[in-house]
Amino acid sequence: MAARCVSLWTRLPICAQRSQVLRPIHRLLSSPGTVAADTRREEQSLGIAETGSEDRTPKKRFSEVQKERREQAQRTVLILCPNKISEKKFLKYLSQHGPINNHFFFESFGLYAVVEFCQKESVASLQSVTRLSVGTEAVIPFRSRFFNLKLKNPPSQTSEQSCIPCSNQSSPSSKKLFELLCNAESVDDQLNTLLKEFQLTEENTKLRYLTCSLIEDIAAAYFPYCEIRPFGSSVNGFGKLGCDLDMLLDLDEIGKSSAHKTSGNFLMEFQVKNVASERIATQKILSVIGECLDHFGPGCVGVQKILNARCPLVRFSHQASGFQCDLTANNRIALKSSELLYIYSALDSRVRALVFSIRCWARAHSLTSSIPGAWITNFSLTMMVIFFLQRRSPPVLPTLDYLRTLADAEDKCIIEGHNCTFICDLNRIKPSENTETLELLLKEFFEYFGNFAFNKNSINIRQGREQNKPESSPLHIQNPFETSLNISKNVSQSQLQKFVDLARESAWILHQEDKDHPSPSSNQPWGLAALLLPSVANSMSHAKKKKKKPANERVKNLLESIKSSSTENSTNTSGKRTDSTQA
């Protein structure tokens, strides 16, 4: 899904000097939060595949990760803290309500703490001694798990205060990323560096599940058996820091929850409001939840009810966490798509590095945009990478049909008539025998799509082979579950051509570098860094290779690029994303 808040994906400055950055790369692996020591182990156990390691410890199923994270989030609280606070005293104060499993601080509009108790009961204990604020203003007396810690006696400026280590919740600046890339040892190292800088941290993932859990509290007030689950980039392995938080209100559990015991001739049902369709039911439920978020939800601002979209949603900003949230309902195919991507992202450590780099490359050249239009989407790019990796010999990734053949009875899943069955246990999928380097795969990716017969062939990860296009859209990528749909139906011929041109040029740059053996010690940007430069389409010495674009096309692209950059940091201005296939 497109992100709106990360300006880093725009063109990088050319001025970066490799020599300015000397930090070792392994530094990037440890989170600056207070729980850094635990982070790596937890990343493993909770499904964040670590780059580079070919660790073969059992990987958790998507559903297991979601369940554990949700349970974890339910015993977690969010606390707005005074700027000057002693961490030790803070923890001691909270420990009165029970042992703390984990905590970290982060900065947003103020200093926030995320505190995970060992037991859920501790949250209720904390709430029981929490008061409603008594200020000059009136308040909505809503009691959530979002607190405001105050000091009775604010410390004087001179008193000593320990400095709180803050977990970083945003991606590096363009300048810093560029420096890191130029300082890398190899192209492989560059791709892994980019991944490490942009991927969701353990803390950020926790914050996402916590935000869902806080919203779930609001929905659960009326629908006790509902679940609010993150889907899309927050959980599919391909999310980057700052990406939107897509949430799904799952009411399906409600129907299942009551084991209906029949007795004699009687049948007891809840008296409920009947509506003409599931869609109307969804709209009404989202409408009320939207009202609640708007009027009661602490920190929920800019609530928009977009109920007439194909997939009705409520969009809002969660101020404390800084997440732009989209809440939809009963959108189960989207959740299944997330699971599929999660499996692909976790199967081989090269997948995420390649996808992150391709997405970053596309963003740098304005091939993708946060506003809807004729652009290619991140989801489409991901499908192209997966498809490309299925086409290698031996394949890096299996086809979806193969994953389906591995499925057992409990994996069976039919949603709205679509067969969404595939194996859910990662550990039962044989690792790839392909040993190609990331550098080679990157180069080959550009080669492959620089020469793909888009005019007649369709991309589909289900079969993992080129097929005749069933319709005339310039780019045809089959929706993996709703197979009659083309996920890139929106892409125009000119945008596709731009993609092809840039792919060819990038392949050429990498090829040239191979021949010229550019030295990492030179001051020239190289490898991935070179590919992200704005000059790639114009300034390199390969103008002869491409058909010269007409001037008006270039002006149009420039305008698009400016437009997309200017909207990237604004919230709530972009149009509706209605694609239920978002994963």
CA-CA distances (angstroms) from residue 323 to 318, 362, 460? Answer: 5, 23, 32
- Is 156 a binding residue for a copy of itself by CB under 8 A? The answer is no
Can you give the C-alpha Rg of the chain in angstroms? 25
Closest approach, Cβ 287 to a copy of itself, in A, equals: 7
Instruction: Point out which span in 182-190, 195-203, 251-259, 457-465 binds a copy of itself (CB under 8 A).
Output: 251-259
Q: Is 511 helix (H, G, I), strand (E, B) or coil?
A: helix
Residue with tokens 């490799």, as numbered in its chain: 18
Closest approach, Cβ 410 to a copy of itself, in A, equals: 25
Closest approach, Cβ 259 to a copy of itself, in A, equals: 7
Tell me whether residue 49 or residue 285 sits nearer to a copy of itself (CB atom).
Answer: 285
- Is 173 a binding residue for a copy of itself by CB under 8 A? The answer is no
Q: Is 424 helix (H, G, I), strand (E, B) or coil?
A: coil
Tell me whether residue 64 or residue 291 sits nearer to a copy of itself (CB atom).
Answer: 291
Closest approach, Cβ 150 to a copy of itself, in A, equals: 4
Helix or strand (DSSP H, E) at 409: none
Please pick, from the candidates 53, 258, 522, 535, the single residue that binds a copy of itself as defined by CB under 8 A.
258
Residues constituting the chain: 583
- Is 88 a binding residue for a copy of itself by CB under 8 A? The answer is no
Q: Which residues pair with 245 in a beta bridge?
A: 325
> Under rule CB under 8 A, which residues in 48-87 are in contact with a copy of itself?
78, 80
**Residues 452, 454, 455: CA angle, nearest 5 degrees:** 130
> Under rule CB under 8 A, which residues in 538-577 are in contact with a copy of itself?
none
- Is 152 a binding residue for a copy of itself by CB under 8 A? The answer is yes
Q: Which residues pair with 81 in a beta bridge?
A: 111
Closest CA to 72 of 219, 230, 207, 169: 207
Closest CA to 407 of 426, 391, 389: 426
Report how far residue 476's alpha carbon sits from residue 306's, in angstroms, rounded to the nearest whole number. Answer: 28
> Under rule CB under 8 A, which residues in 344-363 are in contact with a copy of itself?
none
Tell me whether residue 288 or residue 440 sits nearer to a copy of itself (CB atom).
Answer: 288
Closest approach, Cβ 149 to a copy of itself, in A, equals: 6
> Under rule CB under 8 A, which residues in 176-235 are in contact with a copy of itself?
218, 221-224
> CB within 8 A of 494, min separation 6: which ones?
374, 553, 556
- Is 267 a binding residue for a copy of itself by CB under 8 A? The answer is yes
Report how far residue 414's alpha carbon sits from residue 417's, in angstroms, rounded to the nearest whole number. Answer: 6
> Under rule CB under 8 A, which residues in 110-129 are in contact with a copy of itself?
126-129
Tokens representing residue 84 in the block: 């000057």
Closest approach, Cβ 95 to a copy of itself, in A, equals: 11
- Is 260 a binding residue for a copy of itself by CB under 8 A? The answer is yes
Report how far residue 520's alpha carbon sits from residue 517's, in angstroms, rounded to the nearest whole number. Answer: 9
Task: Give backbone dihedrals phi and psi of 457, rounded to 5 degrees, phi first.
Answer: -110, 150
Sign of CA dihedral 191, 192, 197, 203: positive
Report how far residue 60's alpha carbon sits from residue 65's, in angstroms, rounded to the nearest whole number. Answer: 6
Please pick, from the candidates 15, 22, 138, 409, the single residue that binds a copy of itself as defined by CB under 8 A.
138
Closest CA to 299 of 482, 190, 149, 148: 148
Tell me whether residue 125 or residue 170 sits nearer to a copy of itself (CB atom).
Answer: 125
Closest approach, Cβ 455 to a copy of itself, in A, equals: 44
Please pick, from the candidates 273, 430, 517, 547, the single residue that binds a copy of itself as defined by CB under 8 A.
273
> Under rule CB under 8 A, which residues in 280-309 are in contact with a copy of itself?
280-281, 284-285, 287-288, 291-292, 295-299
Please pick, from the candidates 24, 27, 137, 417, the single residue that binds a copy of itself as defined by CB under 8 A.
137
Please pick, from the candidates 156, 158, 271, 468, the single residue that binds a copy of itself as defined by CB under 8 A.
271
Please pick, from the candidates 160, 270, 521, 547, the single residue that binds a copy of itself as defined by CB under 8 A.
270
> Under rule CB under 8 A, which residues in 92-111 are in contact with a copy of itself?
93, 96
Tokens representing residue 81 in the block: 């803290």
Tell me whether residue 157 or residue 262 sits nearer to a copy of itself (CB atom).
Answer: 262
Please pick, from the candidates 15, 259, 453, 551, the single residue that binds a copy of itself as defined by CB under 8 A.
259
Please pick, from the candidates 41, 150, 428, 554, the single residue that binds a copy of itself as defined by CB under 8 A.
150
Please pick, from the candidates 124, 151, 555, 558, the single residue that binds a copy of itself as defined by CB under 8 A.
151
Tell me whether residue 56 or residue 256 sits nearer to a copy of itself (CB atom).
Answer: 256
Residue with tokens 């601080």, as numbered in its chain: 105
Tokens representing residue 82 in the block: 């005074």
**Residues 203, 439, 582: CA angle, nearest 5 degrees:** 50
